[in-house]
Amino acid sequence: MRFGTRLHATAQALALLPAVAAAQPRPGGAAPPVGVTAPGGVEIAAGSMLVAIFPTIGGQVSIPASQQVRLEVGTHVLSWMLKDDGPGLVTHVQVRIPFRHGPPGSRRSLLVGASAFTIHQHVYSIDRWKYKSAVRPHAGVSWQWQKSRNVDVRIDLQGLFIGQSTPFVVPFATFSMVWHRDRRWS
């Protein structure tokens, strides 16, 4: 290739630079980063929990307490026990602290809180109900995947610390479908 031909090809390439630069996205008009979502508003979850070997059904409400931390309150009903006890109630208050965002629309969180177990017992001799309650701390991890604009799937694996003198951990897992408003990009 001769020098004149090279010079002409270089001049044509330089003439295209403004058009190429104009086609690049501008800082204000760029698409949001993938997988980064703002905490949003209220999340409402319905699901089931497995406490040791006892299945429950219930739900929870999650509200943002700060930019990263969420406060959650939930209730689940234990429909049966091993003895002749009536239904039981599991209520919990916990904080959800995200520690890692995974693929787009997913996150992992640390859970710390307290659970209250209330068991209803029927006293047959006097035909009335008696209630027994206990409050215990729990901690665990959570995985959450966004399945649509308004629905997530969440799995929480936790340990419930029981026992007065000897610490003992009872595992429990929660499987939930979470509803929220459209995700907003931060």
Confidence band for 185, pLDDT divided at 50, 70 and 90: very low
pLDDT in tens, 104-159: 678 899 999 999 988 776 666 666 667 778 888 999 999 998 888 889 999 999 99
pLDDT of 150 reads: 86
Q: Do 70 and 64 touch, CB atoms closer than 8 A?
A: yes
Where do the domains of the chain lie?
A: 43-179
Q: Do 177 and 151 touch, CB atoms closer than 8 A?
A: yes
Mean pLDDT, the chain, whole residue set? 77
The SS3 of residue 149 is coil
User: Which residues 6+ apart lie within 8 Å of 186 measured at CB?
Assistant: 32, 36, 37, 38
Instruction: Please give the CATH number for the structural domain made up of 43-179.
Output: 2.40.160.20
